[in-house]
Amino acid sequence: MKRFISLCQIIFLLFCALALSGCQRQEKFSNYYFEYFDTVTTIVGFENSKEVFDDNCAKIKEKLAEYHRAYSIYEKFGNEKNLCYINENGGAEQVDKIIIDLLLYSKEINEKTENKFNIAMGSVLSIWHQYRETGINEPAKAQLPELSALQEAAKHTDINKLEINKDNNSVRFNDALMKLDVGAIAKGYAAEEIAKWMESENITGYLLNLGGNVRAVGNRADGEKWKIGIENPDTLDKENPYTAFVEIEEESVVTSGSYQRYYLVDGKKYHHIIDGKTLFPADKFLAVTVICKDSALADALSTTLFTMDYEEGAALLEKLNNAEAMWTLVSGEQRFSSGFGKYCVK
C-alpha cells in the first residue's frame, strides 16, 4: 500500500515536471501564401487543432490582402485609390486611412534618419526595377541603366514635395515627376499592424514572416521563445547556413540582403537596394539584420543601414536607442550594435 502511494506520488510529480518543462497539448502548425507583396508569407502558430489555426489564418489573410492591395505600386485593383493609382495621378482625395498612416510614418522615419530613408525615391527605383525584371527574365538582354537617366530621375525625389492632409485623407505630389516606392517599409508596416490586430483579438503564440520580415506575436505555446536563424548571405558556404541565431518574444527581425533580388550584367551582380547618393546598388554589406519591437521600423532601418557606412549606421542606432543590428560585410566579417548580443543564442 505504502509503495502504491509513493508510486502515485512519483507519477503525479512526473506530470508536474512535464508541465513545468513546457509540454502542452497545443500543436505547431504552419501555412504558406504566395499572393501578397510579391513574396512568400509564412504563418506559424500553436493551436489545439488545424481547424482553429486555419480559421485564424483566414482572418489574417483578409488583412494581408487589404494591405497588399493598398500598398501595391505595380498594380491597380478596380477603383481602389491605392499607391499605384496615387503614383499615376500625382495624388488622390479620400484615400484609405491605412495609406495615410503608412505615408505619415514613412515621413517620420525619413526625418529620424536624416533623409537616408526616403519613400520618394520611386522615379529612380522604377528604372532599376525595369532593368532588373528584364535582366532576370531575359538574361541575354541584361543591361545597366544609363547614369544620366538615373541622375535625371533623382531630381524628383524630394520627400518634402509629398503633401499629406490627414484631415481629409488626401495626398498630393508637388512635383509631377515624383513617384513613391514603399518597398522598404510596406511589408514591415503591414506585419506590425496585423500583429497588433492579432494581439487585440487574442490570437497569440504566432509568428508572421512576410518574405523575411519576421514578427513574433506572443511566446510559443510550448514556453520556448521563437528562434530565428539568420541566413548566411554567402550562399556558397554550405557548412555554415546561418550566421547567427536570435531569440524573440514580441520583437521583429528583418534582414536586408543583396543575395536574393539581383540580376547579372557581364557576370556581376546588381541587387535591389539602391544607394541614394551613388544611385547604384549599395556595395558595403552582404546583409544587415535589424531587431526591434516595431516591425515597420525594423524593415525601414535594415534597408537604410544597408546604404550607410557601418560607423554612421551604428551612430544612428545609438541615437534611436530602440533597435539593434548585425552587419555582414562584403568580406564576410561581422559587426554588431552594442545590444545585439542579448538576442543571440548558441
Partner 1 sequence: MKNKIKNDLILVGVILLLSVLSFGIFKALLRPGNSVVVLVNGEEKHRFSINEDLEEFIVTDGENSNTIVIKDSEVWVVHASCPDKICASHAPIKNEGEAIVCLPNKVVITVTK
Residue 329 touching partner 1 (CB under 8 A): no
CA distances from residue 330 to 240, 253, 285, 337 in whole angstroms, order as listed: 16, 21, 5, 18
**Candidate ranges 6-14, 74-82, 317-325, 333-341; the one touching partner 1 (CB under 8 A):** 6-14
Neighbours of 346 (CB within 10 A): 9
Q: Which of residues 228-247 bind partner 1 (CB under 8 A)?
A: 229, 232, 235-238, 241
How many alpha carbons lie under 13 Å from residue 45 in its C-beta half-sphere?
27
**Candidate ranges 20-28, 82-90, 159-167, 273-281; the one touching partner 1 (CB under 8 A):** 20-28
Residue 58 touching partner 1 (CB under 8 A): no
CB of 289 to partner 1, least distance (A): 17
User: Any bridge partners for residue 165, and if so which?
Assistant: 170
Residue 20 touching partner 1 (CB under 8 A): yes
CB of 221 to partner 1, least distance (A): 14
Which residue's CB is nearer to partner 1, number 26 or number 115? 26
Instruction: Return the amino acid letter for 31.
Output: N
Of the residues 115, 126, 170, 260, which one makes contact with partner 1 according to CB under 8 A:
260
Residues 102 and 162: beta-carbon distance below 8 Å = no
Which residue's CB is nearer to partner 1, number 44 or number 326? 44
Neighbours of 119 (CB within 10 A): 27
Residue 40 touching partner 1 (CB under 8 A): yes
63: its cell numbers: 488583412
CA distance 252 to 261: 21
CB of 310 to partner 1, least distance (A): 26
Of the residues 149, 223, 309, 318, which one makes contact with partner 1 according to CB under 8 A:
223
Of the residues 18, 104, 265, 315, which one makes contact with partner 1 according to CB under 8 A:
18
**Candidate ranges 5-13, 105-113, 196-204, 279-287; the one touching partner 1 (CB under 8 A):** 5-13
**Candidate ranges 11-19, 105-113, 295-303, 320-328; the one touching partner 1 (CB under 8 A):** 11-19
CB of 244 to partner 1, least distance (A): 13
Residue 10 touching partner 1 (CB under 8 A): yes
**Candidate ranges 28-36, 151-159, 162-170, 336-344; the one touching partner 1 (CB under 8 A):** 28-36
Residue 17 touching partner 1 (CB under 8 A): yes
Of the residues 33, 197, 310, 336, which one makes contact with partner 1 according to CB under 8 A:
33
Phi, psi of 178 (to 5 degrees): -75, 145
Task: Count residues near partner 1 (CB under 8 A).
Answer: 34
Which residue's CB is nearer to partner 1, number 126 or number 134? 134
Which residue's CB is nearer to partner 1, number 108 or number 133? 133
Give the gyration radius of the chain's Cα atoms: 23
**Candidate ranges 32-40, 88-96, 301-309, 328-336; the one touching partner 1 (CB under 8 A):** 32-40
Residues that bind partner 1 (CB under 8 A): 9-10, 13-14, 16-18, 20-22, 30-34, 39-40, 42, 44, 136-137, 139, 223-224, 229, 232, 235-238, 241, 260, 345-346
